[in-house]
Amino acid sequence: MTIQSTELRINGERLWQSLMDLAQIGATPKGGVKRLALTDLDRQGRDLVVSWARDAGLQVTIDQIGNVFMRRPGRNPSRAPIVAGSHILSRPAANLTAITAFLPHLKWCARSMITQL
């Protein structure tokens, strides 16, 4: 399958809306986000991101501290899968977590039927 460079794009509006939906969980009065580790807000944020991943057909595991790992298996089990993992909690100086930033790429792989690089 040949993929044209014009197809290698993330939908910016969809990404922004996803970030804004996640930012509602733990939103602060001044426009920030506060989702501390192992709190109910952390769980709510994780549940939302996990639902997006599962909707995209990704395999999801969560470790004991709440880190989320998403896996896109390939057709060839001898090759490495596409994997991403991180936390969903927020920090005072940052809102965008690694997994939230990488999820659109994993979704794109799923929609584009890309299974291994």
Which residues, 6+ apart, have CB-to-CB distance to 23 below 8 Å?
Answer: 33, 95
Does 63 score more than 60 pLDDT? Answer: yes
pTM check: above 0.85:
no
- Tens digit of each residue's pLDDT (9 = 90 or more) over 15-60: 788 888 888 998 888 888 888 888 999 999 999 989 988 988 888 9
Count of all residues that appear for the chain in the document: 117
Tell me the C-alpha distance between 29 and 4, whole Å: 44
- Predicted local confidence at residue 44, as pLDDT: 95
| Span 68-74, average pLDDT | 81
Residue 59 is inside which H or E element, if any? Answer: strand 59-62
**Residue 75 region by backbone torsions, left for phi larger than 0, else alpha for psi between -120 and 50, else beta:** alpha
Tell me the C-alpha distance between 109 and 1, whole Å: 13
